[in-house]
Amino acid sequence: MIDIKLIRENKDLVKENIKKKFQDKKLPLVDEVFDLDQKTRSIKQEGDSLRNERKLKSEEIGSLMRDKQIEKANDIKEEVTKLNDRIKELEDEEEKINKRIKEIMMTIPNIIDSSVPIGEDDTKNVELEKYGEPKVPDYEIPYHADILESINGLDKVSSGRTTGAGFYYLMGDAARLVTAMINYGRDYMIDKGFTYCIPPFMLREEAIDKVMSFEERDAMVYKIEGEDLFLIGTSEHSMIAKYMGQILKKESLPVTMTSYSPCFRKEVGAHGIEERGIYRVHQFEKQEMIVICEPEESMDWYDKMWKYTVEIFNNMNIPVRTLECCSGDLADLKVKAVDVEAWSPRQKSYYEVGSCSTLGDAQARRLGIRVKGENGNYHPHTLNNTVLASTRALIALIENNYNEDGSITIPEVLRPYMGNKEKIVKVK
């Protein structure tokens, strides 16, 4: 949520930003907020004036009563009653207008960084750099589901019976490999100074609506029927919401946390839930990172965070590249974002395995997170980044470490988490 001062002082800037995000349908909302803000300020001014007048008349009534001028005091009491009625009307109108202003402000996109490329969708994202050499071996790499089945690692038939499409059973060394990656990502982030956290896997509606845009919520989040609870789609939401309504001490910044959680996603409007594979599914596990920091430090943290993901994947023998997300591909709360994509030697192309975003102070503003400063309270900046998501990271790992004999080489950094095992072999 942007600061309403931006609309008061430079609504053309806000409108231009909406155009850059190709959301022209929201342009009238800027004028509506501007007019409503003017109106509510006028109402507040009238209300303050009437409250001051009421105070003076109340003092006058007290003086008249002391002087036994009862009749005159009663006349002024009638005037005070009328003032009270008008003040109540103004307060009700102000509350109604402020509610509408908040509704609109929650939908107006954040101001994107000037460096963000302009484009309508992810096809206009810009490649930044490649890390690691993308190789294609001279032998065939099977589809990832077939590789996993060859090591008795994947069972989607049973999950189809028990749960339905978009779910799976991971078994044996495949399941162990996922846990190894998650644990390695956790320990890597702890070594970088991040505090490890296992957060709630459900959030109330108030928290959900403050950590993400309404469009994201409707497309992603599962609602628990009959409860004011939603299953989280990513643990960054729980970690950030931990500080909802809090005033942080300046010396406590930056807050740096990494967390593990299962993630649940409806994937509404996605390209389709896979019947055989695990690329796009309703449930997966994830190691995540978040930072709450001083505004002037957010871009430095942004660059650090996505580089952590690049190094983690390179350490697992997985080449990656980074893509700068264009304006139309940014969710409404984001100022700037970069996707990390892993190399698929089977497809001879890259696919997304993580995303790093800085949200400026918009998310903190929605959540009411403030910092106690020397010259008053202010909103910090918030950032989030994927350490690794289990299913997509698993696909990248087994493809890039697949051998001609059907075995999978376990990257050295994961072997301590796999009983020092070096390879996973096919099951005869």
**Given a cut of 90, is residue 212 above it in pLDDT?**
no
Q: What is the pLDDT of residue 358?
A: 97
* pLDDT category of residue 266 using cuts at 50, 70 and 90: confident
- % pLDDT > 70, the chain: 98
> pTM (2 decimals)?
0.89
Q: How far apart are CA 400 and CA 416, in angstroms?
A: 20
Tokens of 382: 């918030």
Tell me what percent of the residues of the chain surpass a pLDDT of 90.
85
In the CATH scheme, what architecture does the domain 4-105 have? Orthogonal Bundle (1.10)
Structure tokens that stand for 141 in this block: 């790499």
Residue 47: its pLDDT value, please? Answer: 93
Q: With bands split at pLDDT 50, 70 and 90, how would you rate the model's confidence at 208? A: very high
**Does residue 240 carry a pLDDT above 90?**
yes
Residue 59 has a pLDDT of 87
Question: Of 387, 386, 414, whose CA–CA distance to 400 is shortest?
Answer: 414
pLDDT in the model for residue 408: 97
Residue 85: pLDDT above 70?
Answer: yes
User: Distance between CA atoms of 177 and 172, rounded to whole angstroms?
Assistant: 9
Residue 287: closest CA among 407, 155, 406, 179? 179
Task: Indicate whether 391 pLDDT > 90.
Answer: yes
Phi, psi of 333 (to 5 degrees): -85, -10
Reduced 3-state DSSP string for 222-261? EECCCCCCEECCCHHHHHHHCCCCCEEEHHHCCEEEEEEE
Which residue has better confidence, 216 or 147? 147
**pLDDT for the residue 272:** 58
* pLDDT-based confidence at residue 165 (cuts at 50, 70, 90): confident
Please give the Cα distance from 228 to 207 (Å, whole number).
Answer: 11
Domain ranges of the chain: 4-105, 122-424
CA distance 293 to 380: 6
Kindly tell me if the per-residue pLDDT of 269 is higher than 60.
no
What 155-164 contacts at long range (C-beta under 8 Å, 24+ apart), as own/partner pairs, is 156/275, 156/276
Per-residue model confidence (pLDDT) at position 75: 87
- Residue 127, helix vs strand vs coil: strand
Average pLDDT of the segment spanning 226-236: 94
Q: Which fold has domain 122-424?
A: BirA Bifunctional Protein; domain 2 (3.30.930)
404 has pLDDT over 90: yes
- Which pLDDT belongs to residue 375? 86
| Dist CA 80 CA 318 (whole Å) | 76
Q: Are 208 and 221 in contact (CB under 8 A)?
A: yes
Q: What is the mean pLDDT of residues 36-47?
A: 94
